[in-house]
Each structure stands twice: as C-alpha cells, then as structure tokens.
Amino acid sequence: MDTAYFSAFAALAGSVIGGLTTFAAAWVTQRQQANIQWLSQEKTRRQELYQQFIEEASKVYVDALMHDQAAIPPLVSLYASVNKMRVVSTPEVTERADKLVRMIVETYFLPNKTLPELRAMMKSGALDFLRDFSEACREELAAVTPAVFSYRLAPGSRVGFK
C-alpha cells in the first residue's frame, strides 16, 4: 500500500471521527438542554397548581371555621385540584391534599369559631393546617428540580432556582 493512500485514509478517518464526535456531543448537549427545559416547565406547572390549591383551601377552611353551611362550588374546585394533582404529583402529595379536603369538610360540622377562638387557634398553631401538604410539595418540587439548577446546602436539603 502506498504511503500517500495511507496518509489520505488516516486524514479521512480522523475527519470522520472528529465529525462524529462533534455531532454526538452536540446531540447530547441538545438533549440535556431539552430535558432541563421540560423539568423547569413541569416544576412551574406544579408550583402553580399547588399555589392555587393552597389559596382555595385557605379560603374554604376559613369559611368552614366561620359557617356551618358548606359552600359547594369551592369544595368542588378543591376536589378538582386534588384530581389534577393525582395526574402529575406523587402519591404523598395527593394523599395529603385529599386529607386536607376531608378535614375542611369535617370542619363544617363543628361549631362555628368566634374571633377569640380563632386567635387562640392561631397562637397554638392549629391554623397551620397546610404544613404537611406544603412540606410534601417542597420535597416533590426539589426532586423535580434539574440538577444543574440545584445547590446542595446540607444532606437532604436542596434549593432550586426557577
């Protein structure tokens, strides 16, 4: 075999390998960027769903504390939010959301609270009925946060950037 052919073949093979490497690197990078974008959008969607549920649940819970007649449309809206969560959320989040709605419904059957009773409930922490749900949401959202946007603070805790 002539050395000129060998040199030309080596140059051609090097070009092909270099091109394939560049293509593979670009493909992997593009795929990672698309995955990070999808995770960010998914996290934002879940944040909006949880925020809406928290706002609605808070309003209905205060109504349940002050009245003994249930407002049906807001309760239906809460159940709709719980079912939306069942589609995209972990079982822990949906279980805690469902538990919250049941607790709100049961509150309508309790005696109405007076302002001093509400103050006492606030001081004792009894009005913080969303804590378990909020913590479950935070844990789930931390798991959905793309690793590129996370900074590990301590074992088990993560802060994500939107």
Q: Report the pLDDT value the prediction gives residue 146, as an integer from 0 to 100.
A: 62
Q: Report the pLDDT value the prediction gives residue 147, as an integer from 0 to 100.
A: 54
Q: What's the length of the chain?
A: 162
> Any long-range contacts for 33-37 (C-beta under 8 Å, 24+ apart)?
35/146, 36/146, 36/148, 36/149
Q: Are 65 and 118 in contact (CB under 8 A)?
A: yes
Q: Report the pLDDT value the prediction gives residue 162, as an integer from 0 to 100.
A: 42
Q: Report the pLDDT value the prediction gives residue 119, as an integer from 0 to 100.
A: 87
Q: Report the pLDDT value the prediction gives residue 99, as an integer from 0 to 100.
A: 95
Q: Report the pLDDT value the prediction gives residue 47, as an integer from 0 to 100.
A: 93
Q: Report the pLDDT value the prediction gives residue 159, as an integer from 0 to 100.
A: 47
**Local structure of residue 158 (DSSP, 8 states):** E
Note the pTM of the prediction, 2 decimals.
Answer: 0.70
Domain definitions of the chain by residue range = 3-145
Could you report the average pLDDT of every consecutive run of 10 residues in the chain (162 residues)?
77 84 85 83 91 94 89 91 93 95 93 88 85 92 67 49 42
Nearest residue to 138 via CA among 86, 103, 93, 85: 93
Q: Report the pLDDT value the prediction gives residue 156, as an integer from 0 to 100.
A: 54
